[in-house]
Amino acid sequence: MVRFLKKICFKIIWLISTILYRTIGVYLPHTFWPGGIVFSWLRKSMLVGMGCKIGKRCEIEPGVDVGFRPNVVIGDFCQINNNVQIKNAVIGNYVMIAPGCVLLDRLHNFNDTVKPMVLQGESGKKSPIIHDDVWLGQNVIVMPGIEIGEGAIVGAGAVVTKDVKSYSIVGGVPASLIRFRNQPDD
């Protein structure tokens, strides 16, 4: 009986948090506004109620989309900017995600040329993994199952289709190595 009540309470909290986040949380002002840290805290609280795990001192800006059944883990001291889409992902500590980034967890199937793509379903879920101290520039797209190593920088507009090594700087479509952070500029 106790287990059943816990399950019902969890579902009620999830439902209330989802409704509040979708109707109010995504529209609350930015963190840099006067009192903005309160808005970020409210967004984080609603996301935690939806099932996300969020570390301490994170800033979540307006318009972050985590879907309806998120499996999102965000480490400590992260900055998730506006209009970012994260359905399922593991994000380390000290990660900066610029506006407009998309972290994908699945793709549409398209191999059957006889059957319309819309009827072919989706691939299985594969969460991207973003390690500590990573910076994703504006409008970066990270494909399902990709791992971005510690200290990496992904340039604005890049589409990451392969794992990114630690302390590397990548950019382009598809993203390719520009240089490592400890190398001097040319």
Sign of CA dihedral 168, 171, 177, 181: negative
Cβ within 8 Å of residue 13, ≥6 positions away: 49
For residue 21, which of 4, 42, 38 has the smallest C-alpha distance?
42
Query: How many CA within 13 A on the CB side of residue 108?
Result: 8
Told to judge if 30 belongs to the known catalytic residues of this protein, a careful annotator would answer no
d(CA 145, CA 74): 16
Q: Is the N-terminal amide bond of 99 cis, ω within 30° of 0?
A: no
**Looking at 6, 11, 57, 108, which residue is catalytic?**
108
- Active-site residues, by number, are 108
